[in-house]
Structure 1
Amino acid sequence: MTANVSTSLNDITEATARAVAENPAAAQVVFRASGVPEGTVGSAIALGQYTIRVDEPPALGGAGAAPNPVEVYLASLIACQVVTYRFWAQRLDITVDDITVAAEGDLDVRGFFGLDDTVRPGFQAVRVTVRITGPETAERYAELQRTVDAHCPVLDLSTAATPVETTLVTA
């Protein structure tokens, strides 16, 4: 798996470390997204040059034309886990022949619909399963998992409080 990376991730890390040492402000990156309604409950989200579409299944008022927001979150978590595993496997010199990541979350819709204000509107639990094959020992892969869990940005969004400020602008 790590042999397929065209640029050494360690080289990228070293270049980033040098740039940040010279200019600490270079460590700060801002990501942006914006969205507009689409269909009954869907949306089109602009992410730079990309657009992703989000919808709900018919049971929740949508057309089922795209993944729903919590599925997009699970996809983001999986994608971030894959990237973080690949990065840290190379950084720790751990050989990974293959990796697959699956995630599932339990959501009680009573929170979203306001049917029970004691139920949170987000996932009550999320389970991530990572399957790795390769020649390393179980202990080395456990070390990799601990490192990934400590450094995965999207996992961190779920496990640590992130301040969010919402601003309403009216015309």
Structure 2
Amino acid sequence: MTTELSTPLNDIVEATGRAVATDPAQATVVFRASGTPEGTVGSAVALGRYTVRVDEPPALGGAGSAPNPVEVYLASLIACQVVTYRFWAQRLGVAIEDLAIDAEGDLDVRGFFGLDDTVRPGFQAVRVTVRISGPESAERYAELQRAVDEHCPVLDLTTGRTPVETTLVIP
């Protein structure tokens, strides 16, 4: 994978910047998802024209037919990191010859099952490993990593505070 520094991503940013400068409301994008149960603990989540299936392994009551929700989160984090690395490499003029990202998270199921209310139901820790190579210096790749860490939307969902409002509708 070689990052092509002359692709139109920088043009997209410039055009978006001009549009947002004249009308800041154009900067807001709403993403939607809608889910329904499938099987014992699985679900089908509609994302526009795509459907993502999610399940749990048999040890957690599922059929093991699809990744579980926290695996989907790790996949989302990795995918967003890949996009953000490629985007910011172009913005900063940093050449990448190879990029591979792994993520793993520690989950204590006592929080999910309500066995210990002092244990968070989510990941206690997440580790991301980025392997990157190319002609740039270590300092340039560190600069790129800082830009990615500051601008990756899915990473921000974990490290920042995102208000979530849940509405229960009972017909």
- TM class, shorter-chain normalised? over 0.9
Call closer, same or farther: CA 1:39–1:6 in 2, change over 3 Å. Answer: farther
- Find the counterpart in structure 2 of residue 87 from structure 1: 87
Matches within 5 A, 1:18-167: 18-167=18-167
Query: d(CA) in 1 for partners of 2:133 and 2:9?
Result: 20
Gaps of 5+ in 2: none
| 1:2 matches 2:32 | no
Provide the C-alpha distance between the structure 2 equivalents of 1:6 and 1:123, rounded to a whole number of angstroms. Answer: 39
Identity %: 81
Distance 2:101 2:72 in 1: 15
5+ long unaligned stretches in structure 1: none
User: Displacement of 1:99 after TM fit?
Assistant: 0.3
Q: Secondary structure at the match of 1:106?
A: strand
- How many residue pairs get aligned? The number is 170
2:125 is paired with a residue whose SS is strand
Distance between the aligned counterparts of 2:76 and 2:20, measured in 1? 26
| Amino acid of the structure 2 residue aligned with 1:50 | Y
Q: Deviations over 1:107-144 (max 9, x none)?
A: 00000000000000000000000000100000000000
The whole-number CA distance in structure 2 between the counterparts of 1:37 and 1:132 is 39
Distance 2:6 2:61 in 1: 44
Task: Provide TM-score, normalisation by structure 2.
Answer: 0.97
Name the CA distance, whole Å, in 1 between partners of 2:42 and 2:116. Answer: 24
Greater displacement, 40-49 / 16-25 = 16-25
Task: For residue 23 of structure 1, report the CA deviation from its aligned partner.
Answer: 1.2
Question: Deviations 1:9-52 (Å, cap 9, x if unpaired)?
Answer: 10110011011112110001100001000000000000000000
Cα-Cα RMSD? 1.1
Q: Distance in 1 between matches of 2:90 and 2:24?
A: 25
State how far apart, in whole Å, the 1-side matches of 2:34 and 2:63 are: 21
How far off is 1:2 after superposition? 1.6
Q: Matched residues in 2 for 1:100 and 1:16: separation? A: 29
Letter in 2 for 1:59: A
What is the alpha-carbon distance in structure 1 between the residues aligned to residue 115 and residue 157 of structure 2?
A: 26
Q: Equivalent residue of 1:2, what SS?
A: coil
Moved more, 6-15 or 153-162: 6-15
